Structure 1
Amino acid sequence: MIWFTWRMHRAQVYVGLALVALVMAVFLPYGEAVRGSYASHGVAACLATDTGGDRCQTALQAFMAQFNEVANHLSTWFSPLPGLIGAIVGAGLLGREYEQGTWRLAWTQSVPRVRWFTQRIALVGAGIVVVCAALSLVFRWFRAPVDDVSGRFAPGAFDLEGLSLIGYTLYAFALGVLAGLLLRRTVPAIVVAFAGFMAVRMPVEFWLRQRYQAPVSRLSAPTLHQTVGPSAVPVTPGKPGWTLGYDLVDASGRTLSNAQQAALQDRTQAMHDPDAYLRSLGLQLKTVYQPASRFWTFQLTEFSIFAGLALVLLAVAVHRLRRRCI
C-alpha cells in the first residue's frame, strides 16, 4: 500500500515540496531585511527594558511602520492556503477514482476497500502534516521580529505559525474526502470542501477563539493618546498579549460612557499637561486581554477543534464507504 499510495500521490508530494520551496524563496530574503531593521532600530533592547521612553517609542513605531503592514499582507495572502491544500488533496482521493472508473479495479482486489481507504488516508494525512509543519516553521521565522512587538495573537501570526495550520489543513482534507465520496466529482468536491472550511474557520477566528479562556484585565494610568482611541495597548513590555478591549473607568470601577469620554477629550486636548489632569480625576484605563503566555494553550485548543472535526468527517466517510455497494 505504501508503494501504491506513493504512485498515486507522488505528483502531490512534488507540488507540496515545490510550495515549501516557493514560500521559502518569498519569505526568507524578506525576513533577513526585517531582522536587519530590527537590529538597527534597537528594538530588542527596548523590549527588554522599557517600551515607554520616547526613544523606544520612536524606534518601535518606525520599525512597525516599515514592516507590520507588509508582513500582515503577505500572511493574509497565504491564509486560504490550508483550505486549498486540504480541499484539493482530499477531493481527489475518491473523486478521481469515481471520475476515472478505477474504483472498480481498486475495490475488487485482495485488499478490502475500507483498509485500502484508511491506509491511504493515514499516509496522505502524514504527508500533509509534514508539509504544514515545514510551512509553519518558515512563517514563524519570517514574522518573529514583528511578533516580538505586536504579539503572536494577530491573525496573520496565529493562523500560520503553530499547530492551528496543521489542524486547518486536516479539516479541509477530511471535508474534501467526504465531498469526493458523496459527489463523485473532483472539482465540485473541492469547491464544497473549501466553502465548508471557510464557513467553520471564520466564526472560530472572529468569535470563538477569544472565548477559549476567560480574559483578564489590567488597570493602568491613562494618557491623552489612549483616551482619543489607542490602536494597541502594550499589556506587558516585551510580551504583547491579545488586546480585546479597553475602557476608561472612574475610581469606583465604573466605565465612562461615550458621551463622558467625548467631553473629557474636548477638555483635555487644550491643556498643557493633560495626562496629569486625567490622573487627578482618578481615572484609569482598563485593558481586557488574553496574556501572551496563553498562545500555545489557544493553539492546542484550536488544533483540537479542527482535528476533532476532521476525525468525525473521516469516520463518516469510512462508514459510508463500508455501506456503499460496489
Structure 2
Amino acid sequence: MIWFTWRLHRAQVYAGLALIALITAIFLPYGHAVRGSFASHGVGTCLAHDTGGESCQTAMIAFVQQFNAIANHLSTWFSPIPGLIGAVIGAGVLGREYEQGTWRLAWTQSVPRGRWLTQRILLVSAGLTAICLTLSLVFTWFRSPMDQVTGRFAPGAFDLEGLSLTGYTLFAFALGLVAGLLLRRTVPAIVVAFAGFMAVRMPVEFWLRQRYVTPASKLSAPTLHHTMGPSAVPVTPGKPGWTLSYDLVNASGHTLTGAEQGRLEEQVRTMHDPDAYLRGLGLHLKTVYQPADRFWTFQFIEFSIFAGLAVVLLAFAVQRLRHRGV
C-alpha cells in the first residue's frame, strides 16, 4: 500500500519539494537583508537591554518602517498556500478515481474500500505534515528579527509559523477529499474545498482567535500619542504581545467616549506638556492585550480546531465510502 500510494502521489511530493525550494529561494535574500538591517540599527542591543529610550525607539521604528511592509506583503501572498495545497491534493484522492474510472480496479481488490482510503489518508497526511512543518520553519526564520519587534501574533506571522499552517492544510485536504467523494469531479471539488476553507478560516482569524483566552489588561500613564489612535508601527521593547485595544479611562475606571476623547485631543494639542496635563486629570491608558508568552497556547488551540475538523471530515469520508454504493 505504501508503494501504491507513492506511485499515485509522487508527482505531488515532487511539487511539494519544489515549492519548498521556491519559497526558500524567495525568502532567503530578504531574510539576510532583514538581519543585516536588524544589526545595523542596533535593534538587538536595544531589545537585549529592554530599554525604551528615545534612541532605541527611533532605531526600532526605522527598522520596522523599512521591512514591515515587505514582510507582511510576502506573507500575504503565501497565506492561501495551505488552502490550495490541501484542496488540490484532497480533491484528487477520490475525485480522480471517479473521473478516470480507476475505482473499478482499486475497490475490487482484496483490500476493503475503507482500509484502502484510511491508509491513503494516513500516508498523504504524513507527507503534508512534513512539508508544512518545513515551510513553517522557513517562514519563522525569515520573520524572526521582525517578530522580536512586532510580535508573533501579527497575521503574517501567526498564520505561517508554528502549527497553524499544518492545521490549515490538513483541514483543506479533508474538505477536498470529502468534496471529491460527493461531487465525483476533481476541479469542482477543489473550488468547493477552497471556498469552504476560506469560509471557516476567516471568521476564526478575525473573530474567534482573540477569544481563545481571556485577554489581560494593564493601566499606564497616558500620552498624547495614544489619545490620537493606535500607532501604525507597533514598537514595544522586549517581547511584544497582541494589542487588542487601548482606551483612556478616568480615575473611576470608566472609558472615555469618542466625543470626550475628541474634545480632549483638541485641548491638549497645542499644550507645552500635554502628557502632564493628562496625568493631572487622573486619566490612565487601559491596554487590552494577549501576552507574547501565549503564542504557543494560541497555536495549539488553532491547530486543534482545524485538525479536529479534519479528523471529523476524514472519518465521515471513510464511513461514507465504506457503506455507499459505487
The TM-score bracket by the shorter chain reads: over 0.9
Could you tell me which runs of 5 or more consecutive residues in structure 1 were left unpaired when the two chains were aligned: none
Could you tell me which amino acid in structure 1 is paired with residue 21 of structure 2?
Answer: A
Provide closer, same or farther for how the CA distance between residues 176 and 201 of structure 1 changes in structure 2, counting only shifts above 3 A: same
Q: How far is 1:232 from its partner?
A: 6.4
Note if 1:25 corresponds to 2:28: no
Contact 2:149 2:236 (8 Å CA) reproduced: no
Instruction: Identify the range of structure 1 (232-241 vs 136-145) with the bigger mean alpha-carbon deviation.
Output: 232-241
Q: Secondary structure at the match of 1:247?
A: strand
Please give the alpha-carbon distance, in whole angstroms, between the structure 2 residues aligned to 1:141 and 1:105.
Answer: 46
Which residue does the alignment assign to 1:295?
Answer: 295
Partner of 2:61: 61
Give the corresponding residue for 1:161: 161
Q: Is the 8 A contact 2:150 2:235 kept in 1?
A: no
CA distance in 1, matches of 2:51, 2:177: 49
Q: Report the counterpart of residue 3 of structure 2 in structure 1.
A: 3
Q: Which runs of 5+ in 2 are unaligned?
A: none
How many residue pairs get aligned? The number is: 326
Match of 2:304 in 1: 304
Q: Is the 8 A contact 2:163 2:300 kept in 1?
A: yes
For residues 231 and 128 of structure 1, the distance between their equivalents in structure 2, rounded to whole angstroms, comes to: 38
Paired residue for 1:206?
206
Q: Which amino acid aligns with 2:105?
A: L
Q: Distance in 2 between matches of 1:134 and 1:50?
A: 32
Partner residue in 2 for 1:187: 187
SS at match of 2:301: helix
Deviation at 1:111, TM superposition (A): 1.1
- Structure 2: which amino acid aligns with 1:114? G
TM-score by length of 1: 0.98
Q: 136-145 or 268-277, which moves further after superposition? A: 268-277
- Specify the alignment match of 1:85 in structure 2: 85
1:199-232 residue CA offsets vs partner (Å, 9 max, x unmatched) = 0000000000000000010101111111111226
Cα distance, 1:237 vs. partner? 2.9
> Does the CA-based 8 Å contact 1:234-1:241 persist in structure 2?
no
**8 Å contact from structure 2 (residues 224, 275) kept in 1:** yes
Same amino acid, percent of matched pairs: 78
Secondary structure class of the residue paired with 2:73: helix
Does the residue aligned with 2:57 lie in a helix, a strand or coil? helix
The reply on whether 1:94 has 2:94 as its aligned counterpart is: yes
- What does residue range 218-297 of structure 1 map to in structure 2 within 5 Å? 218-231=218-231, 237-297=237-297
Q: How does 1:145-160 map to 2 (within 5 A)?
A: 145-160=145-160
SS class of match (1:208): helix
RMSD in angstroms over aligned alpha carbons? 1.2
When residues 122 and 13 of structure 1 are mapped into structure 2, their CA distance, relative to the original with a 3 A threshold, is: same
Structure 1 SS opposite 2:248:
strand
